[in-house]
Amino acid sequence: MRGHVAAGQRRRLALGGLGLAVIVLAAWWLGSGTSGDATGVGTLPPATGLSRGSAGRADAAPRSLEGTTPDGNLQMDGAMLPYAELRRLFDYYLSTQGEQSLGAITQTIQRELGQRLQGPALASARRLLDLYLAYKGALVELDSKPDLSGNAVQAIRRRLEALHDLRARYFTDQEAQGLFGQEDAYDRDAVARLEISQDASLSAQQKQQRLAALDAAMPPALRAERDAVHVVTQLEQRVQALRAQGGSDDDIYRLRAQALDAPAAARLAEVDREEAAWAARISHYRQERARILQNQTGAVEREQALAQLRQTLFNEAERPRLVAYE
């Protein structure tokens, strides 16, 4: 399951933002609920954590953001910061990690905040950005915990509880509610649906009745989110079918652009390229690892060679996740 979450996060950013459990449920609906790993690595480099890198510059717009406008409406409502919109802005730029260093991304966000806010609101937003970056960095360690892996409802609940505990270390209740409240509502609904779907004691009719009860109690915003998940899953099923028929990248782009819009199709195409690049790196790593294990007879020399290989091919945020491929 965690593999699908890691892969899904970049697609979520490309498509406008879905909750953790919503992505899990979408993956399950696509029939992929039995795969995944213990560390949050799928076919993409991790999108949950942050790799610091060098400070860098943020002069040129990353390719994945070309033709898009920054997310986040930062209109103030009295003295209250627009927490959810700030998170959308942060994630919009953080989705480009891999194209830019974290330092360059942070500079860009700071500059954007300076253009949109002023006075105490600007200072508070910049403080929130520092906390959010620290929180995202802490997710790297969270992703490495094997007890948070798996597709079962219990594992997903443990993951969500761990996320809530982690957020409490960085944010006040008001900040956490503003940043993650909507996502939490999506997650609770998705977990409830997954729990019903996985309950072997229920008949098909009972499952339908319970799902219908959830539908009846669903707020309009949550229903719109569920409908968005259906659109995404149906679209990706069509993409998979088109690939199986030999469809080209241009064919897939046109399909997505017709179903969504051109900017979203372009961002999803960039995600496809990242997936392919990550898969190629993992394939190369596995080949080199197998060669080292076969040729190095000494335990010390073997571990040194493996450590050098990991350091050469992967950054600090990626290396803890390699256990999933070993």
Q: Which of 30-44, 189-203, 213-227 has the lowest mean pLDDT?
A: 30-44
Average pLDDT, stretch 199-222?
A: 91
Domain extent for 281: 2-325
Lowest mean pLDDT of 3-17, 85-99, 176-190, name the range.
3-17
- For 96, list phi and psi in degrees, rounded to 5: -90, 5
User: What pLDDT score was predicted for residue 109?
Assistant: 94
Q: What percent of the chain has pLDDT over 70?
A: 78
pLDDT surpasses 80 at 43: no
Q: Is the pLDDT of residue 89 over 70?
A: yes
Rounded to the nearest 10 degrees, the angle between the axes of helix 153-170 and helix 173-198 is: 180
Higher pLDDT pick, 45 / 266: 266
Residue 321 binned pLDDT confidence (cut-offs 50, 70, 90):
confident
pLDDT reading at 271 higher than 90: no
Q: How confident is the model at residue 60 (pLDDT cuts 50, 70, 90)?
A: low
**Consecutive H or E run containing 63:** none
Given pLDDT bands bounded at 50, 70 and 90, which one contains residue 44?
very low
Q: Give me the mean pLDDT over the 249-255 stretch.
A: 94
Taking phi first (over 0 means left), then psi (-120 to 50 degrees means alpha), and beta for anything else, what does residue 36 get?
Answer: left
264 or 248, higher pLDDT: 248
| Nearest CA among 311, 313, 320 for reference residue 287 | 313
Q: Exposed/middle/buried for 25, CB within 10 Å: 0-12, 13-18, 19+?
A: buried
d(CA 46, CA 52): 13
Question: What pLDDT shows up at residue 126?
Answer: 95
- In percent, how much of the chain has pLDDT > 90? 36
Give the CA diameter of the chain.
68
Q: What is the average pLDDT across 39-53?
A: 41
Average pLDDT, the chain: 79
Q: How many CB atoms lie within 10 A of CB 108?
A: 23
Is residue 22 predicted with pLDDT exceeding 70? no
Q: How many domains, the chain?
A: 1
What single-letter DSSP state applies at residue 321? G
Winning range, highest mean pLDDT, from 95-99, 104-108, 142-146: 104-108
The pTM assigned to this predicted structure is 0.60
Q: What local confidence, expressed as pLDDT, does residue 47 receive?
A: 41
CA-to-CA distance for 275 and 45, rounded, in angstroms?
8
Residue 72 has pLDDT above 90, yes or no: no
**Rounded CA gap, 29 and 243, in Å?**
19
Query: Which phi-psi region, left, alpha or beta, contains residue 117 (left: φ > 0; alpha: ψ -120 to 50)?
Result: beta
> With contact defined as beta carbons under 8 Å apart, do 235 and 256 qualify?
yes
Q: What 3 state SS string does 119-145 have? A: HHHHHHHHHHHHHHHHHHHHHHHHHCC
Comparing 43 with 225, the larger pLDDT belongs to 225
Q: How confident is the model at residue 184 (pLDDT cuts 50, 70, 90)?
A: confident
Fill in the amino acid letter for 57: R
